[in-house]
A and B are shown apart, each in its own frame.
Chain A
Amino acid sequence: MNRIDQRFAALKAQGRRALIPYITAGDPAPEHTVGFMHALVRAGADVIELGVPFSDPMADGPVIQKACERALVHGVRLTDLIEMVREFRRDDAETPVVLMGYLNPVERMGLEAFADAARDAGIDGVLLVDMPPEEADLMGPALKARGLASIFLVAPTTSRARAATICAHGEGYLYYVSLKGVTGGASVDAADVAEHLAPLREMTELPLCVGFGIRDGASAAEVGRVADGVIVGSALVSRIAEHAERPEAIPAELEAVLGEMRQALDA
Chain B
Amino acid sequence: MSDEGGQVSDTHSISAGLDYPGVGPEHALWKDVGRVNYVAADDDAVLEAFRELTHVEGIMPALESAHALAHARVLAPQMRPDQHIVVNLSGRGDKDILTVAKLDGIEL
**A interface residue numbers (CB < 8 A to B):** 54-56, 72, 75, 77-78, 104-109
Contact = CB atoms under 8 A, between A and B. Distances in A.
A56 B8 CA distance: 7
A54 B8 CA distance: 8
A75 B2 CA distance: 13
B4 A108 contact: yes
11 contacts: A55-B7, A78-B5, A104-B2, A104-B6, A104-B7, A105-B7, A107-B6, A108-B2, A108-B4, A108-B5, A109-B6
Contacts of B5: 75, 77-78, 105, 108
Contacts of B6: 54, 78, 104-109
Judged by DSSP, the binding face of A is: helix
Interface of B: 2, 4-8
Contacts of A107: 6
A246 B8 CA distance: 30
A105 B4 CA distance: 8
A238 to B, nearest CB: 23
B1 to A, nearest CB: 11
B61 to A, nearest CB: 30
A78 B4 CA distance: 11
Contacts of A56: 8
Residue from B2, B6, B8 whose CB has the most chain A CB atoms within 10 Å: B6
A264 B6 CA distance: 39
